[in-house]
């Protein structure tokens, strides 16, 4: 019979009438550079940038697992609202963009030129590039040169997706938490540092054991000492926090330490 499997012609798959075969859109495929374990971030891309499909650039795998979900970044930005605000580890720009939506001027710093390139492009997508200044350099060298800064936001590397294998103190030591805080506090006492959800206030107290520090997670404490507020940041109303944020100086003021931003 003509067209059979033995006549040298390719067999045509049978498709039942009335059954719609979905078209495979290459735009729905994860970037080829993403490892299989990181491809879950691609499916959540609009959680990280609501305008992702309008031209957002995430060109390396590290950016996918380090960018802050937009709802959390927007909440943090509202708390850090000011005249001149710094994002000292801007990465692809997730937090810096949200800061620019609430503050007058944002200085975004990163040591990686690719990250600065992505942050600039992504800021343009959100229409805030004209409110931002991008500096390529090590924040340890850049921050001391900045003047008249109201607030500083920092999200230092935690050590990649495997950070949760460490204790809270182990993570803080790996990210040089004390040095990072001291560096930023020399510019302004108003500092916010994003931390893994595995860190608690006892861990911060241990790492800063010889500093005059008062820390809390749920109940505000009044003291003539350095005050740290550790806020739990939730996403999609899940029971466990996505991340935590440590606030210092005048930023550590809110009595309610648990936030659950609305789902995008």
Q: Tell me the DSSP string of 143-187.
A: GGG--S--EEEE----SSGGGGGS-HHHHHHHTTHHHHHHHHHTT
Higher pLDDT, 51 or 164: 51
Query: Would the pTM of this model clear 0.85, i.e. be above it?
Result: no
* Separation of alpha carbons 44 and 205, rounded Å: 34
- H-type alpha helices, 67-159: 70-79, 94-102, 113-125, 139-142
Q: Please provide the average confidence, as pLDDT, over all residues in the chain.
A: 82
Is pLDDT at 216 greater than 50 in this prediction? no
pLDDT digits (tens, 9 = 90+) for 150-183: 999 999 988 766 777 888 999 999 999 999 999 9
* Separation of alpha carbons 99 and 50, rounded Å: 15
pLDDT digits (tens, 9 = 90+) for 55-88: 999 888 889 889 999 999 999 999 999 999 999 9
């Amino acid at each position: 019979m003509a067209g059979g499997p033995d006549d040298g012609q390719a067999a045509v798959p049978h498709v039942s009438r009335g059954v719609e075969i979905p078209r495979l859109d290459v735009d729905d495929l994860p970037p080829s550079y993403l490892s299989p374990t990181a491809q879950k971030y691609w499916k959540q891309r609009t959680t990280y940038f609501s305008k992702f499909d309008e031209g957002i650039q995430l060109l390396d795998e590290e950016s996918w697992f380090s960018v802050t979900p937009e709802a959390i970044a927007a909440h943090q930005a509202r708390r850090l609202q000011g005249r001149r605000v710094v994002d000292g580890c801007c990465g692809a720009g997730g937090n810096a963009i949200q800061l620019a939506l609430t503050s007058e001027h944002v200085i975004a710093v990163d040591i990686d030129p690719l990250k600065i390139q992505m942050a600039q492009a992504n800021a343009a997508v959100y229409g805030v590039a004209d409110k931002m200044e991008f500096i390529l350099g090590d924040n340890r060298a850049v921050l001391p040169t900045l003047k008249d800064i109201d607030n500083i936001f920092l999200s230092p590397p935690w050590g990649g997706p495997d950070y949760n294998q460490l204790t809270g103190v182990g993570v803080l030591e790996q990210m040089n938490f004390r040095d990072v805080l001291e560096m930023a506090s020399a510019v302004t006492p108003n500092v916010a540092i994003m931390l893994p959800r595995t860190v608690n206030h006892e861990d911060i107290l241990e790492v800063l054991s010889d500093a005059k520090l008062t820390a809390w997670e749920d109940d505000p404490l009044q003291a003539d000492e350095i005050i740290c507020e550790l806020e739990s940041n939730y996403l999609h109303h899940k029971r466990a926090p996505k991340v935590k944020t440590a606030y210092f100086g005048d930023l550590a003021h809110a009595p309610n330490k648990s936030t659950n931003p609305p789902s995008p």
